[in-house]
Structure 1
Amino acid sequence: MTAIGHNIKMCRERAGISQEELALKIRVGTQTIQRYESGEQTPKLQTIMKISTALDVPASELMGEVYYAAPPELDQKSTSV
Structure 2
Amino acid sequence: MTAEFELRHQFTPRWASLVFGGHGETYVDDSRLYDAEDDIWTWGAGFRYRIARKMGIDAGIDVAKGPEDTIFYIQFGHAWMRAMD
TM bucket, shorter chain: under 0.3
Q: TM-score, normalised by structure 1?
A: 0.21
Q: Which has the higher relative contact order, 1 or 2, with Cα contacts under 8 A spaced 6 or more apart?
A: 1
Higher helix share: 1
Q: Over alpha carbons, which structure has the higher Rg?
A: 2
Higher strand share: 2
